[in-house]
Amino acid sequence: MPVRFESGLARTLVLGVAAVAVVLAFDGAVHLLMAQNPFGGPRPPAAAEPQIGGIVGWILARQSEFYREISATIRAAKSDGSAVWTLLAISFAYGIFHAAGPGHGKAVISSYLVASQETARRGIVLSFASALMQSLVAVVIVAICAWLLNATASTMCNAEKMIEIASYALIAAFGARLVWTKGGGFIRALQVQRPVPAMAAAQQYHRDHRHDHDHDDDHGHVDDAHDGHSHGPVPSELEGPGGWRRGLAAILTVGVRPCSGAILVLVFALAQGLFWAGIAATFVMGLGTAITVATIAVIAVSAKDVARWLSGAGEGGGTLVMRGIEFGAAGLVLLLGAGLLFGYLAAERVTCL
C-alpha cells in the first residue's frame, strides 16, 4: 500500500484529481442537458455551416434509409408474402443502427453498470431484457389503443407522452437511489485518504466487510475483493436474488418507454392489415437494438475495468478513483432522468403533431 504512506502532497493530488473527475463528469452532463432543448428558440446557425459528418452522419443516413424502406416493404408484403422476410431483415438492421441514437437506454444501462460494479455478462442480459420489454410495451400500446379502441393518433400520442414522463421520473428516481448508495461509498473512500487515525478505522471497516464481497471473485472482479470496499449497498443488494431485483429495476426503468419508431411501424402495419408483420418487425427491431445497447454496455464495463487497472485498485488512491467513477456514473443517471423529465434534454421526443 504505497499510496497510503506517501506524502500529504500525493494524497492531496489524488483527491484533487478525483474531484476534477467528478466535476468533469457533471460538467459534461450539464452541457449535454443544456445543449438540446427542443422548446428553445431557434439557434443561430453556426458561422461555418457545420457538416454532419463521420460515423454519426453515416449511422444517421443508414437508419433513415432502413426506416423509410420499412413502410415500402410492409406495403409490398400485402401482395407478396415473401416481402415479410425482407421486412424482418430491414427491421433488424434498423434496430442496430437506430439504437445508436438516444432513447434506448444506452446511457442509463451503461451508467448503471459502471455505478454498480456489474459484470459485462449482466450488462448483456439487462440490455436484451430491457429491449424486449420496450418491444412488448410498444405492441401492447398499439394493440389496445389502435386495434381495440381505434383511438386517434393524438390520443395514442398522449398515452405515449404519459408513459414517457413516467419513465423519465423512473430514471431520475433510479439515479437518485444510485447516488445515495454510491455517495456513501465515495465519502468513505475519501475518509480512507485521511491521516493515520482515520486510516486505522477504515482498515477495520475493510476487514469487517471483506467477506461480504468475496463472491465478486466469481465474476472476474478479483480486484474487488481487495480494493478497500467502501461502497454503499448492503450485501443483500449485491448479487444473488436481491441483485436481480435491482437489475429488474434497471430493466423496468429503461424498458417502460417504447420506441416511437416501433409505434409508427405498428400503426402503419395495422392500417395495412398486417398487424402481425408489424409485431414481428418490432421484436426483431428490439433484438437489433439490444445488440447495440449490449455492445456499448460491455464497452462501458470494460473501460471501467481498464480504469481500475490504471488507477491501481487496491491502493488507496485507486479505490477513491473507482468510487469517484461510480459516484459520477450514478450522478449521470440522476442528471439524465432529471434533464429528460424537465425537458432540458430531448431523447426521442414523442411527436404529437
Partner 1 sequence: MSVAARCRSSLLLAGLLMAGNGLAQAHPHVWITAVSELLYAPDGSISGVRHAWTFDDMFSTYALQGIETKQKGVYSREELGSLAQTNVESLHEFAFFTFAKADGKKQKFNEPVDYYLEYKNTALTLHFTLPLKTPVKPKELVLEVFDPAFFIDFKLAEKDPVKLVGAPEGCQMKLQRPSDGTASAQKLNEQTFMGDGANANYGAMFANKITVECP
Q: What residues have CB less than 8 Å from 126, skipping those under 6 apart?
A: 109, 112, 113, 118, 247, 250, 251, 254, 297
* Residue where the block lists cell 423519465: 168
Q: Is 197 in the site for partner 1 (CB under 8 A)?
A: no
**Which of 236, 302 has the CB closer to partner 1?**
302
Residue ranges in 286-345 that form contacts with partner 1 under rule CB under 8 A: 296, 300, 303-304, 306-308, 310-312, 315, 317-318, 321, 324-325, 328-329, 332, 336, 345
Which C-beta is closer to partner 1: that of 14 or that of 126? 14
Q: To which H or E segment does residue 133 belong?
A: helix 120-142
Does 55 engage in binding with partner 1 (CB under 8 A)? yes
In the bound complex, what is the minimum distance in angstroms from residue 156's beta carbon to partner 1? 7
Non-local (6+) Cβ contacts of 197 within 8 A are none
Nearest distance from residue 87's CB to partner 1, in Å?
Answer: 13
Q: Which residues from 247-286 bind partner 1, rule CB under 8 A?
A: 260-261, 263-265, 267-268, 270-272
Tell me: does residue 83 bind partner 1 (CB under 8 A): no
Interface with partner 1 (CB under 8 A), residue from 10, 169, 187, 256:
10
- Of the candidates 101, 183, 242, 243, which one interacts with partner 1 according to CB under 8 A? 101
Told to check if 34 binds partner 1 by CB under 8 A, we report yes
Task: Using the minimum distance from each CB to partner 1, give the nearer residue, 111 or 181.
Answer: 111
How far apart are CB 97 and partner 1 at their closest, in Å?
A: 9
Considering only 7, 8, 46, 234, the residue that binds partner 1 (CB under 8 A) is: 46
**Interaction between residue 13 and partner 1 (CB under 8 A):** yes
The b/e string for 108-129 (b: 16+ C-beta within 10 A; e otherwise) is bbbbbbbbbbbbbebbbbbbbb
Distance, in Å, from the CA atom of 140 to the CA atom of 279, rounded to the nearest integer, reads 10
CA–CA separation, 193 vs 3, rounded Å?
Answer: 9
Q: How far apart are CA 177 and CA 339, in angstroms?
A: 16
Query: With CB under 8 A, what is the number of residues at the site for partner 1?
Result: 103
Binding mask 105-144 for partner 1 (x = CB under 8 A): -xx--xx--x------------------------------
Q: Which three cell numbers stand for residue 184?
A: 456513501
Q: DSSP for 232-263? A: -S-GGGSSSHHHHHHHHHHHHHHHTSPPHHHH
The rounded Cα 181 to chain-centroid distance in angstroms is 18
**Applying CB under 8 A, does 186 fall inside the site for partner 1?**
no
C-alpha–C-alpha distance, residues 199 and 321, integer Å: 17
Minimum distance, C-beta of residue 180 to partner 1, in the bound complex (Å): 19
162 touches partner 1 by CB under 8 A: no
- Cα distance between residue 39 and residue 344, in whole Å: 9
- Binder to partner 1 among 146, 238, 285, 290 (CB under 8 A)? 146
- Least Å from the CB of residue 291 to partner 1: 17
We find the least distance from the C-beta atom of residue 105 to partner 1, in angstroms, to be 11
DSSP string, 260-321: HHHHHHHHHHHHTT-HHHHHHHHHHHHHHHHHHHHHHHHHHHHHHHHHHHHTTBTBHHHHHH
**Bridge-partner residues for 313, per DSSP?**
315
Minimum distance from CB of 231 to partner 1 (Å)? 16
Interaction of residue 6 with partner 1, rule CB under 8 A? yes
Q: Which of residues 200-229 bind partner 1 (CB under 8 A)?
A: none
Taking contact as CB under 8 A, which single stretch among the options 95-103, 120-128, 170-178, 230-238 is the one that binds partner 1?
95-103
Question: Does residue 156 belong to the site contacting partner 1 (CB under 8 A)?
Answer: yes
- Rounded Cα distance between 301 and 124, Å, is 11
* Residue from 1, 57, 80, 222 in contact with partner 1 (CB under 8 A): 57
